[in-house]
Amino acid sequence: MDESVRIFLDFMRIERGLSPRTIEAYQNDLKAFHDFLTPEERADLSGIQRRRLVAFLMNGRNEGLQPATLARRLVAIKMFFRFLDQEGILKNDLTDSMDSPALWRHLPEILSPQDVDLLLAAPDKKSDRGRRDRAMLELMYACGLRVTELVTLRMEDLHFDDGYLRVLGKGRKQRLIPVARRSAKWVKDYVDEVRPRLLNTAVTPKEVFLSLNGLPLTRARLWQLIREYATLANLGGRPHPHTLRHSFASHLLSAGAPLRAIQEMLGHADIGTTQIYTHVDQQRLKQVHHAFHPRA
């Protein structure tokens, strides 16, 4: 199985163009699946029963794994088995009809516009770090950026005179995203006045957002900063980087933006992924109805 996994991951990286982080996640998922199987099952994947796949996923659920992680594990296994089936290594692909159980699906956490304002206002606007962080938060919410997209954003990707960003998303697919003027103003302030003071002349990074020692900001550090500002804004520390992306999409949909346009701005390959926000909006409408309708 180890050799089959290696060939599969090479195929996904070279032929499908998946990002290194996705490849690493799939590798970890398949390793966990490998460790769960018996020696006999590892030797003959065709003999694995469907109930064993379900047992593996339920075992992860009992260990406290998040629904999104369980869903990704199922995707990794499905793609692996499909690859083996297409290569003639498997006699049949028993994952072909398996979907993520509705029990695992969950609605993304959304901040209200008022909570977003509190979060964006949390950084100290008098310090270089605070001005940098305000610019980052503004851009994440204004454009619905993934964490990786933000930390890998380069100076040449900023086109504020024309009102857009160029973003390199999953699968190295490029997309253009409009930028609100107010958010662009914060980023321009950082780029023109703060970033030059942070630059490490020995390295001269091309990334837009830099750490205080002049190196590109990391995903882990961005996570820490958002948690820090969520606490300062009395949001309970619950928001994480993806929360701003979810809020971006949900607020657009609530304001009447077409789902296809939101899909394009988010960089979703499948509109089914974007449709989760319609469920969020329906949930909001139910809450409004329950709060205000006399018959509720």
| Residue 34 annotated as catalytic | no
User: Order of strands, edge to edge, in the sheet holding 164-168?
Assistant: 158-159, 164-168, 174-178
**Known active-site residue 146:** yes
- Is residue 159 part of the annotated active site? The answer reads no
Catalytic site residue from 131, 146, 246, 251: 146
Query: What single DSSP character describes residue 16?
Result: S
Task: From 1, 2, 101, select the one nearest 57 (Cα to Cα).
Answer: 101
Say if strands 164-168 and 174-178 run parallel, antiparallel, or are unpaired: antiparallel
Is there a catalytic annotation at residue 240? no
Hey, what long-range contacts does 197-203 have (CB within 8 A, 24 or more apart)? 197/128, 198/128, 198/132
Q: Reduce the DSSP state of residue 204 to 3 states and report it.
A: coil
Q: Which one from 73, 131, 134, 245 is the annotated catalytic residue?
A: 245
Question: Catalytic: 245?
Answer: yes
Selecting among 26, 190, 229, 277, the annotated active-site residue is: 277
Our answer to whether residue 51 is catalytic in this structure is no
Q: Report CA 229 to chain centroid distance, whole Å.
A: 20
Alpha carbon distance 208, 153 (integer Å) = 6
Q: Which of 170, 185, 219, 227 is catalytic?
A: 170
Q: Quote the Cα angle for 96-101-106, to 5°.
A: 130
Return the CA Rg of the chain.
22
Q: Which of 132, 242, 246, 251 is catalytic?
A: 242
Task: Give CA–CA dist 190/194, Å, rounded.
Answer: 5
- Which residues does the annotation mark as catalytic? 146, 170, 242, 245, 268, 277
